[in-house]
Structure formats: C-alpha cells, structure tokens
Amino acid sequence: MTIDNDIRFVLLDLDGTLLDRHFDDYFWEHLLPEIFAKRNGMTFAEAHRELLARFKREEGNLRWTDLDYWSDNLGIDIPALKFQMRHLIEVHPHVREFLADMRRRGKTIVLVTNAHFKALDVKLEKTELHGCFDMVVPSLDLGAAKEDITFWQRLEERLGPDYREHSILVDDTEAVLQTARRYGIRRVVFKAGANSSRPVKRSDQFESIESFRELIPE
C-alpha cells in the first residue's frame, strides 16, 4: 500500500489521525463532564448526558469546533483547560517517519483540520510538529467544517483547481471521507485506531490503515 508518484498533495487530519485521540476523548467525555457536574450540582452521569446532547446538536458545523463558543456555552475556559492537560497529547507511532518520507519524496503536506486555532497552537507546540507541514488549513479559516463540501471547494483557492485529482486524504472520520470522496478527492484513507486505548476497527467503506507505516515504501 503505497502512494503513487502522481499524488502531489498529502492531506492529513490532526486529531485521531496524526495524534492519538485519547487526549480529546478523555477531555470531552470525562474531564469536562466531571468539571461541569461539580459546577452545576449534577451527577457525572447527568452532566455527561447533558453535554453529549449539546455536542450532538452542533456536530459537523463550525460551532462544534469553536472552543470560544463552548467556553461561553459551558462557563468553562476550554483553551486554558486544554493547555493544562497538554501532557496527555501524543503523536501516533510512525507519523514522524511518514512525514519525513513524504518530505523526501517532494510531496506537499497539508494539515486539514477542524481543530480550533487555540487547540491547534497547544497541540503543535506540545508535539513539535510545526515544521512538518507546507500548509495548515483549519476549517474556521475556510468558513466550513470538513464534513461540509464547501470546505473542499474552498480549498481549491489554496491548492489549485486540479488538486482533487492529485491528492490523498487520511482522516479518522468517515463522514469527512464521504464528503471528500463525493467532492472527487482521488484517494481517501481511513485511519483506524484513532484512540490507542480502544479496540482498533477498520472501515468497511474505505481503504484503511492502522499505522502510517503501511504507507511508507519498504
């Protein structure tokens, strides 16, 4: 499983794809409900249900990714809390090796992410991945989440009108891959094992990898 020579753009998601999603899952599913429960006189289970319902209502749009929105909505300084917990942020195995290989092969490496710029700053600083990308494109910059085909249409302004024919996208979210495939991205790959603490499940809809080692030529 290799990357063809005529693939010029390597489009990579951040959370769950390059980075272990254990950090974000723990943050949103455990730490935040715990704090919210204490501040609002609720049980953990009640807080968890309440937050899950709020998150679900915004899933797939820009407010879902906006840390400032959630800080105001929940009365908790989300960026400060992420910074406090940054020691849990980890890069998946073989990611650095893969990025170095793509650089040697002359590919244009583009980070395409729904991550809010405040979370992005914390994560790139902690992992020291700053210099690994030719371009960083957060969804807030394009005014649409990656689940929205508008994101991929507007990305043409950055990469050129023929980029879809010369791109591979690796992402751990099937909804994003579905939209990218519908738009015409040449090759879309599902990153299985997004959270290292949970069982690995490959996609039955998309070509899947468990490790970036699978995309590095022998």
DSSP 38-87: HHHT--HHHHHHHHHHHHHHHTTSHHHH-HHHHHHHHTS-HHHHHHHTGG
How confident is the model at residue 62, as a pLDDT?
87
């319902």: which residue's tokens? 53
**Active-site pick, 6, 25, 77, 148:** 6
The whole-model pTM stands at 0.95
Return the structure tokens found at 85: 């917990």
Q: Return the pLDDT at 217.
A: 86
Q: What is the pLDDT of residue 1?
A: 72
The domain limits of the chain are 9-20+90-215, 23-87
Tell me, yes or no, if 6 is annotated catalytic: yes
Which of 115, 167, 179, 114 lies closest to 144 in space, CA to CA? 114
Please, are residues 15 and 28 in contact by the beta-carbon 8 Å criterion?
A: no
> What local confidence, expressed as pLDDT, does residue 218 receive?
75
Superfamily of domain 9-20+90-215: HAD superfamily/HAD-like (3.40.50.1000)
- Inter-residue contact 62 to 154 (CB < 8 Å): no
For position 198, what pLDDT does the model report?
95
SS3 call for 124 = helix
Axis crossing angle, helix 174-183 with helix 149-159, rounded to the nearest 10: 60
pLDDT by position in tens, the chain (length 218): 778 889 999 999 999 999 999 999 999 999 999 999 999 999 999 999 999 999 999 987 888 889 999 999 999 999 999 999 999 999 999 999 999 999 999 999 999 999 999 999 999 999 999 899 999 999 999 999 999 999 999 999 999 999 999 999 999 999 999 999 999 999 999 999 999 999 999 999 999 999 999 999 87
Predicted pLDDT at 205: 95
The size of the chain, in residues, is 218
pLDDT computed for residue 4 by the predictor: 85
d(CA 124, CA 106): 22
